[in-house]
């Protein structure tokens, strides 16, 4: 149970750094070339290590691939939850706040390096590793969608929106907000910031036309008053 020699920094300092740089390089190469086309020599070169070191760390091309997917999933999840934390629970300007949230999520989680890579690996190799990607599905969408849906539910409870099913609304929010980016995403491209903003703006406007406060105008005041009490 107790560590006899060294406390818990057993691996030398550079060890983990190399591991990281290998996984990073591997992510890029796997994305560009696909699993079959990925060349371990090239990964080693891009990581700045020798081929043998790659094998020392990960043992196997397939194991390396799995490490890449798991790492990307973890890092993306961190980013997504950090962004969800910025969801406007008590919005001043609902439209502007939701647009801001959508843009943040796109820029920080979907369109950044990790997001792009993870998405591509899922698309290209998902069918080859059902177990690995079942894991991703649980860890990723399985945890993030409910979290987002909960935020929309709270917004509805606060009287800012009129929503039947928060889970459906959450997914539709994304469908709308990314509606104009689909073709770019398909080809693996990164939309320009103004495209992201444009799509988010149009999407949020439509979303609010559908779900914006409808029933009684007094509703909101009542709820906000309660929240401020």
Q: In whole angstroms, what is the distance from residue 104 CA to residue 196 CA? A: 10
Comparing C-alpha atoms, which of 101, 81, 114, 120 is closest to residue 196? 101
Measured between alpha carbons, how far is residue 202 from residues 25, 196, 206 in Å? 37, 10, 6
Is 175 one of the binding residues for a copy of itself (CB under 8 A)? yes
Is 195 one of the binding residues for a copy of itself (CB under 8 A)? no
**Shortest Å distance, C-beta 39 to a copy of itself:** 10
Is 35 one of the binding residues for a copy of itself (CB under 8 A)? yes
Partners of 212 in the β-ladder: 161
Residues that bind DNA (CB under 7 A): 5-6, 9, 11-15, 18, 38-41, 48-53, 55-57, 59-62
CA 159, 102, 202, 184 torsion-angle sign: negative
CA within 13 Å, CB half, 188: 11
Is 42 one of the binding residues for a copy of itself (CB under 8 A)? no
**Shortest Å distance, C-beta 199 to a copy of itself:** 9
Selection from DNA, a copy of itself, none that 137 binds (CB < 5 to 8 A by kind) is a copy of itself
Helix (H, G, I), strand (E, B) or coil at 92: coil
Is 46 one of the binding residues for a copy of itself (CB under 8 A)? no
Output 78 or 168, the one with its CB closest to a copy of itself: 168
CA 212, 80, 34, 47 torsion-angle sign: positive
Structure-token pair, residue 49:
């290590």
Near a copy of itself by CB under 8 A: residue from 180, 190, 197, 223: 180
Helix (H, G, I), strand (E, B) or coil at 50: coil
Selection from a copy of itself, DNA, none that 11 binds (CB < 5 to 8 A by kind) is DNA
Binding residues for a copy of itself (CB under 8 A): 32-37, 119-120, 122-124, 126-127, 133, 137, 141, 165, 168, 171-172, 174-176, 178-180, 182-183, 186-188, 202-203, 206-207, 209-211
């Amino acid at each position: 149970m107790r560590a006899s020699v060294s406390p818990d920094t057993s691996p030398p300092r550079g060890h983990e750094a190399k591991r990281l740089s290998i996984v990073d390089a591997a992510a890029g190469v796997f994305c560009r070339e696909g699993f079959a086309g990925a060349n371990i020599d090239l990964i080693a070169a891009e990581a700045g290590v020798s081929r043998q070191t790659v094998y020392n760390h990960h043992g196997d091309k397939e194991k390396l691939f799995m490490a890449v997917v798991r790492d990307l999933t973890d890092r993306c999840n961190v980013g997504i939850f950090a962004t969800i934390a910025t969801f406007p629970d008590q919005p001043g300007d609902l439209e502007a706040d939701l647009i801001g949230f959508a843009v943040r999520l796109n820029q920080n989680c979907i369109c950044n390096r990790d997001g792009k890579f993870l998405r591509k690996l899922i698309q290209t190799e998902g069918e080859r590793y059902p177990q690995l990607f079942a894991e991703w599905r649980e860890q990723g969408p399985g945890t993030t969608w409910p979290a987002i849906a909960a935020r929309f539910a709270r917004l509805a409870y606060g009287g800012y929106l009129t929503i039947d099913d928060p889970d459906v609304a959450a997914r539709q929010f994304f469908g709308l907000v990314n509606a104009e980016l689909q073709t770019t995403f398909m080809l693996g491209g990164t939309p320009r910031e103004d495209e992201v903003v444009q799509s988010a703006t149009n999407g949020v406007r439509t979303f609010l036309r559908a779900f914006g406060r409808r029933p009684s105008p007094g509703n909101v005041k009542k709820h906000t008053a309660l929240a401020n009490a």
